[in-house]
Amino acid sequence: MSIKYMCLLSVRSSCSSHGRVCASPVAQQRNNSTSPKIKVDFDQSTGVAVMQMQSPPVNSLSLDFLTEFSIATEKLEMDKSCRGLIITSSQPKVFSAGLDIMEMYMKSPEHCGEFWKAVQEMWLKLYGSNMVTIAAINGSSPAGGCLMSIACDYRIMADNPRYSIGLNETQLGIVAPFWFKDTMINTVGHRTTEMALELGMLYNPSEALKIGLVDQLVPEDQVVTTATQTMTKWLAIPDHARQITKSMMRKPTIDKLTSNRETDIQYFVNFITKDSIQKSLGMYLAMLKKRKG
């Protein structure tokens, strides 16, 4: 497998090209909170909602984004007429570039903790959803973007060799927490996870299909339509039987986090606020800035 160097984390002002996410950490106006980062189209006739991530430039998982995501997902979850959720990106070339680095660089422990809680919440909502969830991965999907994908029931990726997907945290000197790891093991098995996480591997679509990190490759313009067709197949199964089965498969993994959320937050905050880690993040940001410049 090839290992590519790609940003693990993104910043709001970053730009994306050719499968690389480059960014500049310069301050800029935050998106107005009235401009939604997520657009949801729910088709009452099919029971399927399509969620478009539309937070330029690269759908960074900022605190605002994650909060909006969890609220939107919760709303659909509560709506008994909504049985399926397709998640995709309206941004070119990227599904989601992962956790927003600006939420953990030079921030207070309190802010870091609040941010991490929102990351947990996103995963808990998605991995434990009663809806059928399909990731329509129409661009690169490193780190947090990969987590979001593997938390779904099914993954369809654009067959574009410039895109990549993987949990590449170690490349930046940080570590995927245990529940990222558990979700990965549940998807591709123990050995592949071990090597993928230790090396921070990013896989192109063919490689990702081969190891089972995604389930299907289609041409880029057919990702969402294929997701819609696949959804029909999943919705042919009686909801209650599928939901009980899904819960049986995923509950142990979910319980491990729900019974350790505070500890996990403390662990993250202690780790990320270390001088050495902050220095790493700073150097990384400088590198991104230079690359963009």
Residue 168 annotated among the catalytic residues of the structure: yes
- Options 99, 147, 172, 217, the catalytic residue: 99
CB of 168 to its own copies, least distance (A): 10
DSSP lists the bridge partners of residue 203 as 165
- Options 168, 172, 257, 288, the catalytic residue: 168
By the 10 Å C-beta count (0-12 exposed, 13-18 middle, 19+ buried), 8 is classed as: buried
CB–CB of 153/240 below 8 Å? no
Closer to its own copies by CB, 78 or 248: give it. Answer: 248
Residue 144 annotated among the catalytic residues of the structure: yes
CB of 57 to its own copies, least distance (A): 27
CB–CB of 10/23 below 8 Å? yes
CB of 257 to its own copies, least distance (A): 14
DSSP state of 97: -
* Residues contacting 74, CB < 8 A, separation 6+: 125
Phi, psi angle pair for 133, to nearest 5°: -115, 125
CB of 71 to its own copies, least distance (A): 26
- Region for residue 15 given its phi and psi (left: phi exceeds 0; alpha: psi -120 to 50; beta: otherwise): beta
- Options 144, 145, 166, 200, the catalytic residue: 144
Closer to its own copies by CB, 38 or 152: give it. Answer: 152
Closer to its own copies by CB, 170 or 226: give it. Answer: 170
Instruction: In whole angstroms, give the CA distance from residue 153 to residue 131.
Output: 9
Closer to its own copies by CB, 55 or 192: give it. Answer: 192
CB–CB of 50/138 below 8 Å? no
CB of 40 to its own copies, least distance (A): 24
What are the structure tokens assigned to 19, written together? 């499968």
Closer to its own copies by CB, 67 or 130: give it. Answer: 130
Residue 169 annotated among the catalytic residues of the structure: yes
Residue 160 annotated among the catalytic residues of the structure: no
Residues that bind its own copies (CB under 8 A): 3, 153-154, 169-176, 178, 181, 185-191, 193-195, 197-200, 212, 215, 233-234, 237-238, 240-242, 244-246, 248-250, 276, 280
Closer to its own copies by CB, 89 or 183: give it. Answer: 183
CB–CB of 266/112 below 8 Å? no
CB–CB of 138/224 below 8 Å? yes
- Options 68, 103, 121, 169, the catalytic residue: 169
* Residues contacting 43, CB < 8 A, separation 6+: 49, 50
Give the up-direction half-sphere exposure of residue 202: CA atoms within 13 A in the CB hemisphere: 28
Question: Catalytic positions, please?
Answer: 99, 144, 168-169
